[in-house]
A and B are shown apart, each in its own frame.
Chain A
Amino acid sequence: MVWDYIVNNTAKCIELTLEHIFIVGMACSLAIVIGVPIGVAITRNKSLASKVLNTANIFMTTPSIALFGIMIPILAPFGYGLGKVPAIIALILYSQLPIIRNTYVAIKNVPPELVDAGRGLGMTSWQRLKEIEIPLAVPVIIAGLRTAAVMSIGIAAIAAYIGAGGLGVLIQQGIGRSYEPMILTGAVLVSVLAIFVDGFMAGLESLVTPKGLKVGRRLRHG
């Protein structure tokens, strides 16, 4: 049933999949650019850290369709109430918690001996961050990105209802037409994409982990 639909509508399926990947990829890359510096900055101040993490947690707790709903009146005056822009903004907000938290935890968990050794070598605070703390934190940050990416794929499917496109369109239109093969195709393709990205990121995670430092997975789903 699903296979027949894909064979008959190959072009459409590929186009929607690429659109989905574009939304998620865009959101995740922007989320890293915003989230990692925040995560690094809050390691210097504990009370600020708990405030920022709590704020990020509130976004994470907010149901996705409700967040899309709230963003319509906020972004409508700028002409971006519906479409890809609110979807990408929402995905960035959702991705902040895993990325900021993992960056924060990773840098906090860098052994103090290593930082002291860096200080002993005469490194400045910025050099210590660049040469010691961030390289050691990268696998854990990638683990956070993995959580964020898988979650984003699921939420991007819902974004079809605010006109963002992507594979959610198949589910949305399928439900509207009570056309089962279309619904199932959408559901299966989204799931396969999520599982594939999860596996890909897992591979990336173990690729960037130095041998003898394989701790990245432990911090997922905290």
Chain B
Amino acid sequence: MGNILIRIYRLIMVLFLLAAGVLLDRTGMLEYMADPYEFAYVLALARQHIVMVAVAMVLATALGVGIGIVFTRARMKKYAGVVMYIVGLGQTIPSLAVLAIVMSFMGIGFEPAVFALFVYSVLPIARNTLAGINAVPNWLLDAAKGMGMNNCQILWHVELPNAMQVMLTGFRVSLVICIGTAALAFLIGAGGLGEQIFMGIDLMRTDKLLAGAIPTILLALLADYLCEFLGLLLIPRGLRLEQAL
């Protein structure tokens, strides 16, 4: 029975790819991208998109990991629950709402968009850093203390490597959400690939629309895979867990 299911799955995938190819040709998206001017324009928008995401993510990672580390220190630990609650609450707020709220007090343009992306991306990173460091087993910390490590060494050599898997999951969620939200940043005047999508919808031009939507999707999938690869680099071999579902 399992074999039949897998065959059906493969058949569906092949049919799906065929349909996607036919669709791309039918809608004229390939023709659209073959035009050198339009192609250069899409590339420029993609660059804008990536710069926006990169700036926001660098800032968000720095702050998120910082929050995670500060609120797991012995002196600040009592506030960790409150921080977790606030972060959890923040995560339920929809991305479009965050963009809209930021726009209403910072105006339109690149900076407000980056700020909104930054605020929204901090949350999963902070949450997972907190959770990851909190989940490091106590006996590991005791062993480190017994070896005469000071607090900095414990953080760097024991807590962070053990929490890395969870922290990376947070980073990955954050990055993917950030790329998706950056597509909405067009609405507050920051450009990016969302421009092609929204203009395509408004003009009812499918080729233009797909020329924005497909690169956005590829960007998100690529980022997702890169994060998996990053895990191989950052997590010490002995600590790699079974691929979590």
| Residue ranges of A at the interface with B (Cβ–Cβ < 8 Å) | 41, 44-45, 47-48, 51-53, 57-58, 61-70, 72-74, 76, 101, 104-105, 150, 153-155, 157-158, 161-162, 168, 171, 174-175, 180, 183-184, 186-188, 190-191, 194-195, 198, 221-222
B206 within 8 A of A: yes
| Interface size, chain B (Cβ < 8 Å) | 50
The reply to whether A74 and B23 contact each other, CB–CB distance below 8 Å, is yes
The reply to whether B197 and A65 contact each other, CB–CB distance below 8 Å, is yes
A-B contact count (CB 8 A): 146
List B contacts of A63 (CB < 8 A).
179-181, 183, 216-217, 220
The reply to whether A187 and B101 contact each other, CB–CB distance below 8 Å, is yes
Q: How far is the CA of A171 from the CA of B9 in the complex (A)?
A: 40
B32 within 8 A of A: no
List B contacts of A48 (CB < 8 A).
2, 5-6, 9
Q: How far is the CA of A68 from the CA of B27 in the complex (A)?
A: 15
| Residue ranges of B at the interface with A (Cβ–Cβ < 8 Å) | 1-2, 5-6, 9, 23, 26-27, 89, 92-98, 100-101, 103-104, 124, 127, 169, 173, 176, 179-181, 183-184, 187-188, 194, 197-198, 200-201, 206, 209-210, 212-214, 216-217, 220-221, 224, 244-245
The reply to whether B93 and A64 contact each other, CB–CB distance below 8 Å, is no
The reply to whether B103 and A66 contact each other, CB–CB distance below 8 Å, is no
Q: How far is the CA of A68 from the CA of B212 in the complex (A)?
A: 12
Q: Given A104-B245, A157-B97, verify A162-B92 contact (CB < 8 Å).
A: no
Q: How far is the CA of A57 from the CA of B179 in the complex (A)?
A: 15
Q: How far is the CA of A47 from the CA of B1 in the complex (A)?
A: 13
Closest to A180 in B: B104
User: B103 is contacted by which of A41, A68, A162, A175 (Cβ under 8 Å)?
Assistant: A175
User: A73 is contacted by which of B23, B94, B179, B220 (Cβ under 8 Å)?
Assistant: B23
Q: Given A72-B201, A158-B184, verify A62-B93 contact (CB < 8 Å).
A: no
List B contacts of A171 (CB < 8 A).
96-97, 100
